Amino acid sequence: MSVLIFVELDEGKIKKSSQEAIFYGAKVAGMMGTAATAVVLGEADSAELATAGRFGATKVLHAADPKLNETNGMAYASVVAAAAQQEGAKVIVLAKSSLADAMAARLAGKLKAGLAANVIDLPQLGDSFRVKRSIYTGKAFAETELTADTKILAIKKNTITPEETDATASVEAFSPALNEGDFGLKVTNTEKATGDVLLPEADLVVSAGRGLKGPENWAIVEDLAKALGAATACSKPVSDLDWRPHHEHVGQTGIKVSPNLYIAAGISGAIQHLAGVNSSKVIVVINKDPEAPFFKSADYGIVGDVFEVLPRLTKAVQAL
């Protein structure tokens, strides 16, 4: 029996959020007196997969069928279910993401498992299996008891800080029978986010809204982001106006982020935007309107013109 961790890749590399999931899963395995096994789907380099050992995995099951190169919630759920059954895994860990959301519910149905999302701490074991979860877009916490024989835990990003070692994991080929019915949905085109730091994985985010007045002024946002090593983001009106690409849109209908620091410049703070950023550990708001609703949700606020404040912040960061 082992704890099974589903690992996502990006450009052939283990995602930062999956590194957190591996470390979390290894800790749970230690609490349960068992081993941590990772499962990876799609073609990938074995040397990269072996690095899962740095975060606590002892073994990696690699389902390398080319059909699994394209993310597919239905097919992925079937393969991970097969891996769980082979390993006798009663706890399955994954990082919460758009792919995980599409897959985890199907996986729970296949395994008749209990599912807890937005888990932020190690479980309480004993007479029951309890986990602490972030709810209401980070405004509250819930203690959730899972009573099903198999448990699925979706870990909230940036809540677990992995410790890295020099260990490596063994990599084993895993070739379950694929269900052709799972491939009825075909991916015809994929548009990937670009940039030095990708928004879904970012610890630091610099975001801006219509207060920037136009796409030609975005250099001051990018300069601050570059100085901080941060990702850039925007509000929905900005992406709707095509000032910025839609993959930078943060909010209820866009990407939901939970970085350690979220800087919002020239964004009023509509409830739809707040729903996507409330999980941030620290929120800094810059707006010339002292009555902007965003200030009510901010940890720190600067009342001022973004065209004056952002360049000064950038210079201060560069000086450090």
CATH code (residue 46): 3.40.50.620
pLDDT above 80 for 145: yes
Domain co-membership, 35 together with 149:
yes
Question: What's the whole-number average pLDDT of the chain?
Answer: 92
Q: How confident is the model at residue 172 (pLDDT cuts 50, 70, 90)?
A: very high
- Say if residue 210 carries a ligand binding annotation: yes
For residue 188, is it within any domain? no
Residue 251, annotated ligand binder? no
For residue 136, what pLDDT is reported? 79
Residues 228, 166: one domain? no
Confirm whether residue 271 is marked as ligand binding: yes
287 is in an annotated binding site: yes
Tell me: do 169 and 220 sit in the same domain: no
Note whether 55 and 96 are same-domain residues: yes
Per-residue confidence band for 180, with pLDDT thresholds at 50, 70 and 90:
confident
Confirm or deny that 312 is annotated as ligand binding: no
258-304: pLDDT as tens digits: 899 999 999 999 999 998 898 898 999 999 999 999 999 999 999 99
Is 267 assigned a ligand-binding role in the annotation? yes
The yes-or-no verdict on residue 139 having pLDDT over 80 is: no
99 assigned to some structural domain: yes
In one letter, which amino acid is 195? G
User: What residue ranges in the chain does DSSP mark as E strands?
Assistant: 2-7, 9-10, 13-14, 35-41, 59-63, 91-95, 114-119, 130-135, 140-145, 151-155, 170-173, 204-208, 231-234, 261-265, 282-287, 300-303
Q: Is the pLDDT of residue 306 over 60?
A: yes
Q: Which residue has the tokens 């901080």?
A: 228
How large is the average pLDDT for residues 68-89?
94
Is 272 annotated as belonging to a binding site?
A: yes
Q: Last residue of some domain: 150, 183, 216?
A: 183
Q: Give the mean model confidence (pLDDT) for residues 108-118.
A: 96
Let me know whether 85 and 209 are in one domain.
no
In a domain, 53, yes or no: yes
Per the annotation, does 30 bind a ligand?
no
Distance between CA atoms of residues 283 and 78, nearest Å: 39
166 shares its domain with 221: no
If DSSP codes are grouped into helix, strand and coil, which group holds residue 8? coil
Pair 203, 143 in one domain: no
247 annotated ligand binder: no
Q: Look at residue 192 and tell me if it is in a domain.
A: no
The 3-state DSSP class for residue 161 equals coil
User: What pLDDT was estimated at residue 174?
Assistant: 96
- Is residue 190 assigned to a domain? no
pLDDT computed for residue 190 by the predictor: 66
The average pLDDT across 169-195 equals 81
Assess whether 146 and 19 both reside in one domain: yes
Give residue-wise pLDDT tens across range 35-72.
Answer: 999 999 999 999 999 999 999 999 999 999 999 998 88
> How many independent structural domains does the chain possess?
2
Asked if 257 and 233 count as a contact pair (C-beta separation under 8 A), the reply is: yes
| Confidence (pLDDT) at 195 | 57
114 is annotated as contributing to ligand binding: no
What is the C-alpha separation between 40 and 11, in angstroms, rounded? 13
Task: Report the percentage of the chain scoring pLDDT > 90.
Answer: 78
Q: Which of 152, 183, 214 is the last residue of a domain?
A: 183
Is 39 in contact with 61 (CB distance < 8 Å)? Answer: yes
Is the domain of 271 the same as that of 231?
yes
Q: Looking at residue 277, which CATH number applies to its domain?
A: 3.40.50.1220
- Coil vs helix vs strand at 138: coil
Kindly state whether residues 133 and 274 are assigned to the same domain: no
Domain containing residue 297: 199-319
Predicted confidence at residue 19, as pLDDT, reads 96
Q: Is 12 exposed, middle or buried (0-12, 13-18, 19+ CB in 10 A)?
A: exposed
- CA–CA distance, 211 with 111 (Å, rounded to integer): 49
Task: Please indicate, yes or no, if residue 193 is contained in any of the structural domains.
Answer: no
9, 129: one domain: yes
Per DSSP bridges, beta strands 59-63 and 130-135 are: unpaired
- 72 and 219 co-located in one domain: no
